[in-house]
Amino acid sequence: MGPRNVFVTGGAGFIGSNFVYHLLDALPDTHVKVYDKLTYAGNMENFERVKANPRFSFVHGDICDVHAVSEAMRGSDMIVHFAAETHVDRSILVGVNPFIQTNIQGTVTLLEAAQKLGVERFLHVSTVEVYGNTAPSVSVRHQFLEDDSLNPLSPYASSKAAADRLAYSYWTTFKLPVVITRCVNNYGPYQYPEKQIPLFITNALQGRPLPVHGDGLNTRNWIHVEDHCRALLAILNAPADAVVGEVFNIGNDEEHNVIDNANAILRLVGVPSYYPSSSLISFIPDRQGAVRRLAVDATKLRERLNWTPQISFEDGLASTVQWYIENEAWLKHVLERGDTFLNDALNRGVDKA
Ligand code: NAD
């Protein structure tokens, strides 16, 4: 039997809101309850299309609040846990405490509540950042496997690594039916513009330079958020013996560096050809805690659940740029909130241009 009542933490954020749409469309009998604190990254405007759907409900709350979590979780069969402080730069420049609080303490609060309730599945959304640096291409094996060691490089990644292992320990110790996913970098609609791709799109649309850290050659696997959501749904639908107690990498073979992304976005936004794109790219000092290369091997997920990514980076990036153009009001409202960290990030290349 598929999921019936799904409790989605962090559902008002980027991946969570895409997942809510995906779930409601794919499973007509399923009810979704989003539980979200609405931090700077949460946005009720992400729910425009589902807010009147009787199978959707929203609870405003903090995952660290034991009482509120157990009240809200009651009646849920499956938990999908996205809620987190998610930005590497904020974990370095703003402070680590919210990361420890939400990513570690909040995860434990949810695991405890789920354990008491006796849920059928607890899908913990971890990240490839827990692995650290993929070896450079001279190495024998180039992509992380699920049983590789975890060597997180930033406070964000370390807090996610702690949560990842705590979730696993609730399976090994208490037999809570936990599944852990480690997905590569996502892009797509509704992503807060502090992150690389929407930041580049926002600046390209507004004629501001695109800030590129270091030499711009840091590379990542990039996956469209819909492919990620499809993988998560496949895991929720899978029989317990195929997935419970397991870790799954989610990724593809699309590796791209920062400069390539900047140039591709400038082209898609339509910076006039007489205007050399390089003049809208501004090099700034490298980030602390930066990972040079991150790539995973997702063979386990492909073979066990027959999942394959369906959106090429070229097509996905084009549709994402188009989404930000068509959803000017969404972007305008986000920018009007007066988030000084975001404002600084968007303007980081201006002085250097
Ligand atoms: P996001 O920053 O866009 O959204 C995070 C959401 O969590 C927001 O809605 C926010 O309000 C909510 N939240 C934060 N603290 C909370 C708290 N204490 N209680 C309740 N809600 C809280 O994040 P995202 O990019 O959508 O990432 C979602 C998850 O996926 C995270 O766990 C992240 O580590 C993981 N992940 C992200 C990526 C990526 O590329 N974005 C890749 C792999 C894994």
Do 257 and 216 form a contact (C-beta atoms < 8 A)? yes
Q: Tell me which DSSP letter residue 280 carries.
A: G
Distance CA 237, CA 24 (A): 14
Torsion of CA 22, 242, 299, 83, to 10 degrees: 40
Question: Over the stretch 72-131, which tens digit does the pLDDT of each residue have?
Answer: 999 999 999 999 999 988 988 889 999 999 999 999 999 999 999 999 999 999 999 999
- In sequence order, the 6+-apart residues with CB closer than 8 A to the CB of 120 are 3, 77, 78, 177, 240
pLDDT at residue 47 above 70?
Answer: yes
Question: Over the stretch 158-187, which tens digit does the pLDDT of each residue have?
Answer: 999 999 999 999 999 999 999 999 999 999
Residues lining ligand 1, judged by CB closer than 6 Å? 9-10, 12-16, 36-39, 41-42, 62-64, 82-86, 102, 106, 125, 127, 160, 183, 185-186, 192
CA 198 to centroid of ligand 1, rounded, Å = 16
Instruction: Tell me which residue has its CA closest to atom 13 in ligand 1.
Output: 83
Question: For residue 21, what pLDDT is reported?
Answer: 97
Place of tokens 């749409």: 21
| H or E element at residue 60 | strand 56-60
Give the percent of the chain with pLDDT over 70: 94
Instruction: Tell me which residue has its CA closest to atom 30 in ligand 1.
Output: 82
pLDDT at residue 30 above 90?
Answer: yes
Question: For residue 138, what pLDDT is reported?
Answer: 46
Q: Which of 19, 39, 85, 330 to mutate to test the pocket of ligand 1 (most atoms within 8 A of CB)?
A: 39
Distance CA 52, CA 326 (A): 22
CA 55 to centroid of ligand 1, rounded, Å = 22
Question: For residue 48, what pLDDT is reported?
Answer: 92
State pTM to two decimals.
Answer: 0.96
| H or E element at residue 160 | helix 155-174
Do 46 and 17 form a contact (C-beta atoms < 8 A)? yes
Phi/psi of residue 220, nearest 5 degrees:
-140, 155
Q: Which of 82, 184, 334 to mutate to test the pocket of ligand 1 (most atoms within 8 A of CB)?
A: 82
Distance CA 197, CA 184 (A): 14
Question: Over the stretch 128-148, which tens digit does the pLDDT of each residue have?
Answer: 999 998 766 545 467 899 999
- Which ligand 1 atom is the nearest neighbour of the CA of 86? 2
- Which ligand 1 atom is the nearest neighbour of the CA of 81? 32
- Three-state DSSP at 65 gives coil
CB atoms within 10 A of CB 45: 14
